[in-house]
Every structure is written in C-alpha cells, then in structure tokens.
Chain A
C-alpha cells in the first residue's frame, strides 16, 4: 500500500499460474489428469473397454450420493474388479439371479505405471437359471427360492444390445462406471487418508428417458449407493478387512486373487472362491475382537451370557452377526 509491502519487485505473476492439467472429453465425460504426456483415452482403454464405456456413457446427471468408507481405497477397486462382492454377500444379486458365476469378466493388462482397467460383467439368468449349480453350491448365502415382495426393484428393461445386466468397468483405480439393472452411475473414489475414502456415486439417465424409465432408474438406485441392497455390506466388509489387517501390524497380509495374470476369462469361478479371502480376513479380526470383548466383559462381571448382538453360534465361530440368528435369540 502506498508503495510499501506486497510482492517483491521481480515477482512475475505469469510464473506462478495455476497448474495446467490435461483434459480429455468423450461423450460428455470429462477426464482430467496432471500428466501432460500420456496416451489418448481411446488408446488407454483399448477397443474392448472403449465399447463398454460408450455403451452407457451418453447421459445427463440425475443426482449424487456420497458415503465414507473406513478402509483403504484399494479394497473397493479390487472388490469391483474381482466382482467378489456380488458372490459373497450382495442380497439383491442373490435374490434376483442377476449374478451368475459363469458370466464373463474382461480384463486388460495395463502399460507401465498406469493401473489396470478392468470390467466384470454378468447377465441375468433365464427364469429357470437361478437354480443352484456347481458354481453356487459352495456359496453359503445362495438361496434359490428367495423372492422379493415388491418385484419392481428388479423390473429390468433391456436397453443395450447385449444381454448384460451388470457391467462394472474400472477406468482408473478411482473411477468406476457401473450399470446394474437399469441404474447407471459413476463411482468416484476420493481417498481421505490411509484408512478411509469417500465414495461418490453420480447417477445419471438419458435425455430421451420417458417417465417410466426415469422412475425405474430411481427405483433401481436402491441397489446401489450408501444404503444400496448390493453395496450396503461393502463398507462393512471392507471395515472388517481393514481391522483384520491391523490386528498384526508387524506382519503382512497377502491375497493373490485369481493368480498373477490379467488375461480374459470366460468365467469368474476363481472370484467365487476368492470371495472367501475377504471373509477370512474379516473373520480373523472378528475372532480377535469377540474374544477380547468377551474377556473384557467377563472381567468386569457385566456379562454372564452372550455379548449384545451376537448369537452363541456367531460368537463362538466368527463374531459376524447374522440378524436372523439375533432375532432367533431374542425370541
């Protein structure tokens, strides 16, 4: 002020611009990167992935939901790519027959430092295709006769040329394009530290959607999001897995799901079995947790029966709560 203070005389504003970013657009989707020299989006995705991206990404924003997940962000990326979540715990997929262990995921080996893009796809079975098979017989949670009271949740209208009802396409580790039934969305992972991340869903539809389809997309959004039938358990399991890793900080945890390659497969049986890996990690934490809890309560003389929310069976085996067992205990 009045010739005093402020920046040095040799300060050049043009030398301190905002960081320039590399911007790419495709069908209205905007990609921004700090890397100025990189291959094109089309080259990165490759022909297989490009087709799947173009398949759904031609819409307008509808709404956005957000949730915080207490786990390292890599878990969700791996969770989606391996499609293990659907098999191990997703109630709606088990009810609807949306998920078949013999459907085809596609993966693509990534060049150099760029994380691999990958897609997991599954198709809805025909009416009689929901029966237990050799691939589902080891899924403790698979129930053939489970039916929805309100079937409109899975009133799926075919809108793409192929027969896939679930397509999860991981573009970057922090970006997933999802189609499940008639709900379309992007999932953006925003790490907020080593043990937590925000997961932002942006749901969208198409300009030419009629009211019935718009209502259907909003209804099918019940499958996903912070309270989604499909995704509700995800953060719980990832939280358990994170705790499982933490209970032995001097050691290491390693899970090699599906081996070491990234080649395409026409099945996901490996993921069916690898779903147990997450469960094992979670169970490891649960064993430790329940034992310590029970010991603590006994020491204080405050508990002479099962800890709250844990049936005897659950307490003695894994500590993971099945509400059915809890309800039975209460009765």
Chain B
C-alpha cells in the first residue's frame, strides 16, 4: 500500500494477493505474459521485523528497489516504508 492511501485510511493496495494462488498468477503474468523493456534491478532490504500474530507471522522490512535500463541512468524505482 502506498503511504498516501495508508494516511487517508484507504484500503486500496497496488497489489493484493489473498492467496498463494494469487501470488502464482502474479508471478506467471510477470514471467510469461508481460512485455518489458530489458533492465537490471537491485532489491535491497534491511531492518527486518518479525512479529508473532497467533498462527501467523507479521513481517515488515525496509526496502529500496533500483532499476537500470540499458543505456540509461539507474533510478530508484520504489522505496519504503517511509519514516
């Protein structure tokens, strides 16, 4: 979810996967169906936080994702969570 939506109390997420099957659909779409420009990506995580939530775990982490299109400068594609 974006910071804007969280602060506004809006439930919309950029991606909502409510099951493992939904995640598999996402992966399949990205790997087999999407048309993308060739690029390199680097995904960094830090500050991993794991909390007990009964029969599940709540996992949170800081992240930054960079992408580099061939012939172009590296840009920060996404970062979070914001402080």
Is A219 within 8 A of B14, CB to CB? no
Q: When the two chains form the complex, which single residue of A62, A289, A327 contacts B70, counting CB atoms closer than 8 Å? A: A289
A57 at the interface (CB under 8 A from B): no
Q: A221-B16, A225-B14, A226-B14 are in contact. Are A323 and B38 (CB under 8 A)?
A: no
Whether the Cβ atoms of B11 and A149 lie closer than 8 Å is: no
- B14 is contacted by which of A92, A227, A240, A308 (Cβ under 8 Å)? A227
**Smallest CB separation, A232 vs chain B (Å):** 6
Instruction: Report chain B residues within 8 Å CB of A229.
Output: 29
Q: Is the CB of B34 within 8 A of A63?
A: no
Residues of chain A from 137 to 155 with CB closer than 8 A to chain B in the complex: 141, 148-150, 152-153
Task: For the complex, give the distance between the alpha carbons of A293 and B70 in Å.
Answer: 8
Chain A 294-317 per-residue mask, 1 if CB under 8 angstroms from chain B, else 0: 000000000000011110000000
Contact of A153 among B5, B25, B39 (CB under 8 A): B25
Q: Is the CB of A321 within 8 A of B12?
A: no
**Do residues B29 and A324 form an inter-chain contact, with CB atoms below 8 A?**
no
**Contact B34–A219 (Cβ < 8 Å):** no
Scoring A residues 222 to 257 as 1 if CB is less than 8 Å from chain B, else 0, what string do you get? 100111010011001101100000000000000000
Within 8 A of B (CB), among A117-162: 141, 148-150, 152-153
Q: Give Cα A292–Cα B10 distance, bound, in whole angstroms.
A: 46
Contacts of B25 in A (CB 8 A): 148-150, 153
- Partner of A222 from B2, B16, B21, B30 at Cβ < 8 Å: B16
Number of interface residues of B (CB under 8 A): 32
Interface string of B16-27 (1 = CB under 8 A from A): 101101101100
Contact B36 A91 (CB under 8 A): no
Binary contact track A65-104/B, C-beta < 8 Å → 1, others 0: 1100000000000000000000001011010000000000
B38 interface neighbour in A203, A219, A292, A308, Cβ under 8 Å: A308
Render B25-57 as a binary contact track against A, CB cut-off 8 A, 1 for contact: 100111111111111100000000000000000
Are A319's CB and B38's CB within 8 A? Answer: yes
Report which of B12, B22, B29 forms a contact with A62, defined as CB distance below 8 A: B12
* B-facing residues in A273-301 (Cβ within 8 Å): 289, 292-293
Please, how many angstroms separate the alpha-carbon atoms of A153 and B33 in the complex? 16
Residues of B with C-beta under 8 A to A323? 30-32, 34, 36
B37 to chain A, nearest CB (A): 6
Q: Does A218 contact B (CB under 8 A)?
A: yes
Interface size class of A (residues with CB under 8 A): 35 or more
Contact between B12 and A63, CB atoms less than 8 A apart: yes
Question: Which among B4, B5, B36 has the highest number of chain A CB atoms within 10 Å?
Answer: B36
Q: In the complex, what residues of A have CB within 8 A of residue B39's CB?
A: 309
Q: How far is the CA of A203 from the CA of B2 in the complex (A)?
A: 14
Most A CB contacts (10 A, CB to CB) among B18, B24, B25 go to B25
| Cβ distance B28 to chain A, nearest Cβ, rounded Å | 8
Known: A308-B40, A309-B40. A150 touches B19 (CB 8 A): yes
Which of A65, A152, A233, A237 is in CB contact (< 8 Å) with B18?
A: A152
Question: Interface centre among B4, B11, B39, by most A CB within 10 Å?
Answer: B11
The distance from the CB of B24 to the nearest CB of chain A, in whole angstroms, is 5
Taken together as a complex, chains A and B put the C-alpha atoms of A239 and B71 apart, in Å, by: 14
When distances are taken between beta carbons in the complex, the residues of chain A under 8 Å from B2 are 65-66
> In this assembly, does A64 line the interface, its C-beta being within 8 Å of a C-beta of chain B?
yes
Q: A307 with B70: in contact, given A94-B33, A323-B30 (CB under 8 Å)?
A: yes
Chain B residues lying within 8 Å of A227, measured Cβ to Cβ, are 14-15
Contact of B29 with A63 in the complex, beta carbons under 8 Å: no
Chain B residues closer than 8 Å to A236, beta-carbon distance: 34-37
Q: List 6 A-B contacts (CB under 8 A).
A: A64-B8, A203-B12, A237-B35, A321-B37, A323-B30, A323-B36
Contacts beyond the supplied A310-B38, A323-B32: 11 A-B pairs with Cβ under 8 Å: A64-B8, A65-B14, A152-B19, A222-B15, A232-B29, A236-B34, A236-B37, A293-B71, A309-B38, A319-B38, A323-B34
